[in-house]
Amino acid sequence: VLPVMPLDSAILTSIRHGAKGDDRKMRDFFGGIMVVGGGAKIAGFNAFLEAKLREMLPGYTKEILIGLPPRDLDQQLVVWKGGSVFGRLSSSGNDSWVYGREYEMLGAKLLAQKCMWGW
C-alpha cells in the first residue's frame, strides 16, 4: 500500500531520501523544487508551499525555493509532456518500467527496487 501524506511532507521525505544524509545535496534539492499540474495554477500556491516547508525546516529557509517552469511550458501541460516523453522511451534497458507480470510476482516489494526509496 502506497503512503498517503500531505504534499509538503512528501517533498520533504523525497528530498531526505534522495540526499541520503548529505546536507549539501539537501540544500541543492530544496532550491530545485518545481510544482506542476493543474493544481499548481492556484493563486498563491507556491508561496503557501514554500512557507509550509520553511516552517518544517527553519534551518533551510534561505535554500527553499519553489520555481516556476520556463515561460513556454504551461504548468498544467508540462506533466503531460513529461509523461509522453517517458512513454516513448524504449522498454528494453529501461529499468523504470513496472510490468504487470513483475508486479504480480513481486507485488509492492518491486517498488522498493524501482523507486528512489523503499515503500
The model carries a pTM of: 0.65
**What's residue 119's pLDDT?**
47
Q: Are 45 and 37 in contact (CB under 8 A)?
A: no
Q: Are 12 and 26 in contact (CB under 8 A)?
A: no
Give the whole-angstrom CA distance, residue 112 versus residue 55: 30
Beta strands of the chain (E only): which ranges? 33-34, 66-67
User: pLDDT tens, 44-62?
Assistant: 999 999 999 999 999 898 9
User: pLDDT tens, 87-111?
Assistant: 777 666 666 677 788 888 888 777 7
Residue 83 has pLDDT above 90, yes or no: no
Give the whole-angstrom CA distance, residue 119 versus residue 2: 7
